[in-house]
Amino acid sequence: MADGASAAGWVDALIFLNALGCGLMAGLFFVFSNSAMTALSRLEDGSGMNAMQAINAAIVNPTFLLLFFGTACLSAVSAAAALLHWQQPGSVWMLAGGLLYLAGGFGVTVICNVPLNNKLAAHRPDTAEGLDFWNQYSLVWTRWNHVRTFCSAAALGCFVLAAAG
């Protein structure tokens, strides 16, 4: 880093973009945990399962992917920057925020929710087997989504505290 002023500006921008990304992801996850999965689970005749399959297909789009992967990349950079500049104010919060999003927002999605989504896609909502899977899926998927929501919101809080220094 060149001088203190330009370094501080770069770090401030990094923290801001991380907070924004984590906040948007936390909001998306929260909507599903708070209302969408409950509403989908109440629908009969496989309608909820069919709707979730459509949502899972629609969410894989450039805007979501940029936000999801971009926030993960920024979180990794933040964690590394915090370790490299450990003595700087806010470094602990930058590290915590980066790790929370990487593990809880990104990691849980990749390891838990996406594989469940892929299994859901292989089932048909007009079969008993499909509906049985949907009932189990909605419970397990929502539990992991609560983890993603909490970790992304906590990461947002950490980045806000990092900005405060």
Output the pLDDT for position 72: 98
* pTM of the entire predicted model: 0.91
CA distance 161 to 93: 6
Listed residue (158, 162, 136, 164) closest to 49, CA to CA: 136
- The tokens for 85 are 């500049």
Per the CB < 8 A criterion, the answer to whether 19 and 103 are in contact is no
For the chain, the distance separating the N- and C-terminal CA atoms, rounded to the nearest angstrom, is 19
Specify the amino acid at residue 137.
Y
Output the pLDDT for position 1: 33
Average pLDDT for runs of 10 along the chain of length 165: 59 95 98 97 94 98 98 98 93 98 98 98 95 96 98 98 92
For 118-140, what is each residue's pLDDT tens digit?
Answer: 999 999 999 999 999 999 999 99
CA distance 96 to 79: 8
35: region left, alpha or beta (phi > 0 left; psi from -120 to 50 alpha): alpha
Listed residue (114, 146, 143, 160) closest to 21, CA to CA: 160
